[in-house]
């Protein structure tokens, strides 16, 4: 058969078309490879073996797909928040939860219907220290440890502002990253609540040491990088008569021996107060009139992928797993009331490390279930120095 010029032209374009189709079929894989390479470069992700990287790559691909599907629903108005990839997107959900979610309330810690003061003063506590495990000494229950004698009543409601942001007002330090090597969220939330209260007493805002809490509050029942309770952290600071600054005792993301330096102390408390449990109005009053509050949430599901908007998850429970710092609240025109939280997962999570969670929606994710804050005397520096001198 004689091949004409017309036949040659048709055959040539057929080959070109086949090449284009082959390229089109290959482009998604090529794009995925490029995204994976960019992810590793951006987050300096390194893996110990080929098998470990393969698992990380699989988690990355699954998370990437989940983010894309969720954001399609967000674009259709079916979700209240947007998700995105971050430095933890190479972890499978179960792996992420085991590494990052470290809040574990004491077995005897209950949710008080209303705060009640705890009567033991500091000298009584210290006199019982010898030969006694502090985790057993603390009589957890429907009570609040407030040895200073302050009544645990919530502040009066008054006329609350419709919007509050303690971070914008200069009462919150920079966002920290606990890293995937240490489930120390509870330590960062406790340190953040203390930072705000020290600032409210008129002192310069100064980052406090989460590592100090990780290493030194084990006698109170905390378990370092494994898990912990913010109230047990406050108890440690009270009995110890201080907490070091971050500069004095830097974060290491691992368990270590206690190296508290009395000369580097910058934070302290005189007890702590639990906010009325499961009561978002009480939490709002406290945040508005007291300052940043340590809280705990159910951080399972796709909370790790949150990027912006108001996080509401109908599958969330009040079985809390992760500590955050509630630094404010407000109302979004599209999505309604929200809590403003500071997380400890670095600045690639959420809105530069901050997030908005649904408020007044049946205590979604349990944010009002285990909220508490440290109480500080007005005569802070003088009394604190006296404590140190007598220690």
Give per-residue pLDDT as tens, 335-381. Answer: 999 999 999 999 999 999 999 999 999 999 999 999 999 988 754 44
Give the pLDDT score at 22: 52
Give the pLDDT score at 363: 97
Q: Residue 50 and residue 379: Cα distance in Å, rounded? A: 58
- Tallying the residues shown for the chain, one arrives at 391
**Predicted model pTM:** 0.82
Higher pLDDT, 143 or 5: 5
Give the pLDDT score at 113: 43
And the tokens for 215?
């290493």
Q: For the beta carbon of residue 227, count every other beta carbon within 10 angstroms.
A: 19
pLDDT class for 148, splitting at 50, 70, 90? very low
Burial class (CB in 10 A: 0-12, 13-18, 19+), 282: buried
Residue 14 in this model has a pLDDT that exceeds 60: no
Q: Which residues contact 151 (CB under 8 A, 6 or more apart)?
A: 117
Quick one: which of 124, 129, 160, 173 has its CA closest to 145?
124
Active-site choice (185, 225, 227, 316): 185
- What's the whole-number mean pLDDT along residues 70-83? 97
Higher pLDDT, 257 or 132: 257
Residue 125 in this model has a pLDDT that exceeds 60: no
pLDDT class for 151, splitting at 50, 70, 90? very low
% of the chain exceeding 70 in pLDDT: 76
Residue 114 in this model has a pLDDT that exceeds 80: no
- What's the whole-number mean pLDDT along residues 245-254? 97
- What's the whole-number mean pLDDT along residues 248-274? 94
Active-site choice (70, 106, 322, 384): 322
343 labelled catalytic: yes
Give the pLDDT score at 159: 76
- What's the whole-number mean pLDDT along residues 78-105? 90
Give the pLDDT score at 377: 77
Asked whether 273 and 197 are in contact (CB, 8 A), the reply is no
Higher pLDDT, 234 or 28: 234
CA 239, distance to chain mean position in Å, is 25
Active-site choice (279, 343, 363, 364): 343
Which residue carries 């809490």 as its tokens?
213
And the tokens for 111?
């949710």
Question: What backbone torsions phi and psi does residue 282 show, to the nearest 5 degrees?
Answer: -60, -40
Residue 111 in this model has a pLDDT that exceeds 50: no
- What's the whole-number mean pLDDT along residues 207-220? 96
Across 244-248, 372-376, 385-389, least confident range:
385-389
Helix axes 5-43, 50-75, angle to 10 degrees: 100
pLDDT class for 264, splitting at 50, 70, 90? very high
300 labelled catalytic: no
And the tokens for 19?
């090449």
- Kindly report the average pLDDT of the chain as a whole number: 83
Give the pLDDT score at 277: 87
101 labelled catalytic: no
- What's the whole-number mean pLDDT along residues 177-197? 95
Per residue, what are the HEC states of the chain? CCCCHHHHHHHHHHHHHHHHHHHHHHHHHHHHHHHHHHHHHHHCCCCCCHHHHHHHHHHHHHHHHHHHHHHHHHHCCCCCEEECCCCCCCCCHHHHHHHHCCECCCCCCCCCCCCCCCCCCHHHHHHCCCCCCHHHHCCCCCCCCCCCCCCCCCCCCCCCCCCEECCCCCCCCCCCECCCCCCCHHHHHHHHHHHHHHHHCCCCCCCECHHHHHHHCHHHCCCCCCCECHHHHHHHHHHHCCEEECCCCCCCCCCCCCCCCHHHEEECCCCEEECCCCCHHHHHHHHHHCCCEEEEECCCCCHHHEEEEEECCCCCCCCCCEEEEEEEEEEECCCEEEEEEECCECCCCCECCEEEEECCCCCHHHCCCCCEEECCCCCHHHHHHHHHHHC
What the chain holds in terms of domains, given with CATH numbers, is 5-74 (no CATH), 122-390 (3.90.70.10)
Higher pLDDT, 117 or 257: 257
Give the pLDDT score at 205: 94
And the tokens for 90?
């190479």
Which residue carries 């992700």 as its tokens?
45
Q: Which residues contact 220 (CB under 8 A, 6 or more apart)?
A: 134, 135, 138, 232, 233, 235, 236, 239
Residue 112 in this model has a pLDDT that exceeds 70: no
Kindly report, residue by residue over 27-44, the tens digit of the pLDDT. Answer: 788 889 999 999 999 999
pLDDT class for 131, splitting at 50, 70, 90? very low
Residue 118 in this model has a pLDDT that exceeds 50: no
- Range among 111-115, 277-281, 322-326 rated most confident: 322-326
And the tokens for 261?
């330096």
């Amino acid at each position: 058969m004689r091949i004409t010029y017309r036949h040659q032209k048709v055959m040539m374009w057929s080959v070109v078309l086949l090449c284009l189709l082959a390229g089109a079929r290959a482009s998604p894989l090529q794009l995925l490879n490029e995204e994976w390479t960019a992810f590793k470069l951006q987050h300096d992700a390194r893996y110990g073996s080929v098998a470990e990287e393969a698992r990380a790559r699989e988690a990355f691909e699954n998370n990437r797909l989940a983010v894309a599907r969720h954001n399609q629903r967000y674009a259709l108005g079916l979700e209240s928040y947007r998700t995105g990839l971050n430095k933890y997107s190479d972890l499978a959900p179960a792996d992420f939860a085991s590494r990052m979610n470290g809040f574990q309330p004491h077995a005897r810690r209950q949710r008080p219907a209303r705060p009640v003061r705890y009567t033991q003063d500091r000298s009584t506590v210290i006199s019982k220290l010898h030969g006694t495990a502090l985790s057993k000494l603390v009589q957890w229950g429907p009570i609040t440890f407030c040895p200073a004698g302050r009544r645990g009543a919530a502040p009066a409601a008054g006329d609350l502002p419709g919007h509050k942001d303690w971070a914008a007002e200069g009462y919150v330090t920079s966002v920290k990253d606990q890293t995937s090597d240490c489930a120390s969220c509870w330590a960062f939330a406790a340190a953040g609540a203390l930072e705000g209260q020290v600032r409210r007493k008129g002192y310069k805002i100064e980052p406090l040491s989460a590592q100090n809490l990780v290493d030194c509050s084990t006698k109170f029942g905390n378990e370092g990088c494994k898990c912990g309770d913010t109230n047990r952290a406050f108890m440690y600071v009270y009995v110890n008569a201080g907490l070091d600054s971050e500069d004095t005792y830097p974060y290491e993301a691992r368990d270590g021996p206690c190296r508290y330096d009395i000369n580097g102390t910058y934070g302290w408390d005189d007890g702590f107060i639990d906010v009325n449990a499961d009561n978002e109005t009480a939490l709002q009053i406290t945040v508005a009139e007291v300052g940043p509050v340590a809280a705990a949430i159910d951080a399972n599901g796709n909370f790790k992928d949150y990027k912006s908007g108001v996080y509401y998850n109908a599958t969330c429970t009040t079985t809390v797993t992760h500590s955050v710092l509630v630094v404010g609240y407000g109302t979004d025109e599209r999505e309604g009331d929200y809590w403003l939280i500071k997380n400890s997962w670095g600045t690639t999570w959420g809105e530069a490390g901050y997030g908005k969670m649904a408020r007044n929606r049946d205590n979604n994710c349990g944010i009002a279930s285990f909220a508490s804050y440290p109480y500080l005397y007005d005569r802070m520096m003088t009394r604190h120095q006296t404590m140190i001198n007598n220690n």
